[in-house]
Amino acid sequence: MRLAALLLSGAIVAGPAFAQTAAPAAPEAMSSQTAPTTFAPLARRLLPAVVNIQTTQTVQARPGARPDAPEVPQAPPGSPFEEFFRDFLERNRPGGPPARPGQPAPTPRRAQSLGSGFIIDASGIVITNNHVIDGADEINVVLQDNTTLRAELVGTDPRTDVAVLRVRPERPLPAVSFGDSDTAQVGDWVVAIGNPFGLGGSVTAGIVSARGRDIRQGLYDDFIQTDAAINRGNSGGPLFNLAGEVIGINTAIYSPSGGSIGIGFSIPSNLARNIAAQLRDGGRVRRGWLGVNIQQVTDEIAESLGLQGGARGALVARAQEGGPAAAGGIQNGDVVLKFNNQDVREMRNLPRIVAETPVGTVAPVVVWRNGKEETVNVTVAELPADVQAAATAPAQPRPQATVELTGLGMKVSGMTPELRERFSIRPERNGVVITEVTPGSPAAERELRPGDVIVEVQQERVTTPQELSERVERLRRQNRASALFLIEGAQGQRWVPLRLRAATPGSPG
């Protein structure tokens, strides 16, 4: 199976799109706690606020094709029909076969596609996905009564795939409002409305299948998973609770064919509402920024730090110099447990919590440091467009002889110009250089490599092999099962727990 990462708007095929007729207002929405016998009253009330998004884009025609050449009908990717249509039209294309070298450049053509959206303000504010309108030269919004309105792009946020459009109607439009997505529970009924395959307003129902899904689409992934059928063209459409409130924007599916198999993903309304408000007010999104490089806390890291309650929080690999975190007192090796009174259950929670915190907020941050919880206050800054950590090269330590760390399976050396050149170590990197790793050793198990730089051990900086060896031996005398090393390599800084084998004669690695 593969992830259809974005429900790309469906191409227009033969025949016009069908649209539903507006219906009278419905009675009060049913209780979200009651299993409905029908969704008809809810659908009648909500359908008029859901719109079709039609976009037009200029694309380069393939060589040898004429502007009136038919396009390949939409078929599920990978299906036999897709290959059949492509082969048939290639052989019978009016423009003939592909152009040969020396032929004139093909004439650009206009491509159309469809998506979905919903009205949140009667004056004409429409929400959809960024990928529905990305690259469009012209955007039109089609209402349920088939009225077509030219739309202007107010703002877009590719990071969360949210876009805001504005139309200028002659009369107030039916609108829906955002609900509280945090109250949606696994098992709650939900209704999706959109424009699948360009057919017009369509309603599907299902339940919330899961919360907090990370589908590797971005840093702020926190999707609602639903089994309500979502297909191509549903992108940008709303996911409603039974109170008729929007709790999600339908965005992606997991599918082997491009069609629904009951695994769809929606952007939570609590995230989308904040993004949409910022786009509407200023045309761009201002995100909070902490200025840290973080990594996941594993069970071994938690044990190394004596972290009570097991693996949780986000481990600070580096507090960027001059950043808000460093200015507020956050240090390398701290584990962030709470930010602005919100629990940080795991690493990926922290970027989203910080991003949603208003710029300028003085946020209390609870960290685990030196075996206990401490609280520092950090002033949240705005995420720079291009975060660059400027660093200067401090004075170089005096070169040291190579030392073997018995029991860990590696040899280390002090930093030298020769080692910098040999391993392409940047001037600002300083510490103890790993020069050799024994296969099968604890260092090899943790994928340490020659050229990696050991910066700290158990949150204490080391600058020479002798310091490093002494720290390791001291931890062994304390009967520590493992030690936490701050490693800087080609991929940046990370914390690595290493088992401390006894350093006895003849012990491996």
Written as tens digits, the pLDDT of the chain (509 aa) is 344 444 444 433 333 333 333 444 444 444 445 678 899 999 999 999 999 999 988 765 544 443 334 444 444 444 444 454 455 445 444 444 555 555 555 556 666 778 999 999 999 999 999 999 988 889 999 999 999 999 999 999 988 899 999 999 999 999 999 999 999 999 999 999 998 877 778 999 999 999 988 776 667 778 999 999 988 888 999 999 999 999 999 998 887 666 778 889 999 999 999 999 999 998 889 889 999 988 889 888 888 889 988 889 999 988 888 899 999 999 999 999 999 999 998 888 898 899 889 999 999 999 999 999 999 999 999 988 754 322 222 333 344 468 888 789 899 998 888 888 888 888 778 889 999 999 988 899 999 999 999 998 887 888 888 889 888 888 888 888 888 999 988 778 888 999 886 544 333 33
pTM: 0.61
In the chain, what is the straight-line distance between the N-terminal and C-terminal CA atoms, in Å? 42
Q: Enumerate the CATH 2.40.10.120 domain ranges in the chain, comma separated.
A: 1-13+40-63+74-95+106-285
How crowded is residue 372: how many other Cβ atoms within 10 Å of its Cβ? Answer: 9
Q: Enumerate the CATH 2.30.42.10 domain ranges in the chain, comma separated.
A: 288-382, 403-499
- Structure confidence at residue 105 (pLDDT): 57
Contact 410, 438 (CB under 8 A): yes
Sign for the CA dihedral angle at 72, 161, 272, 214 comes to positive
- Looking at the domain covering 1-13+40-63+74-95+106-285, what would its CATH class be? mainly beta
**How big is the CA angle at 121 (ends 42 and 40), to the nearest 5 degrees?**
10
The one-character DSSP state at 97 is S
Indicate which residues carry an active-site annotation: 131, 161, 235
Instruction: Give the span between the Cα atoms of 115 and 200, in whole angstroms.
Output: 10
Contact 454, 480 (CB under 8 A): no
288-382 fold: Pdz3 Domain (2.30.42)
How crowded is residue 442: how many other Cβ atoms within 10 Å of its Cβ? Answer: 24
Query: Residue 44: helix, strand or coil by DSSP?
Result: helix
CATH architecture of 403-499: Roll (2.30)
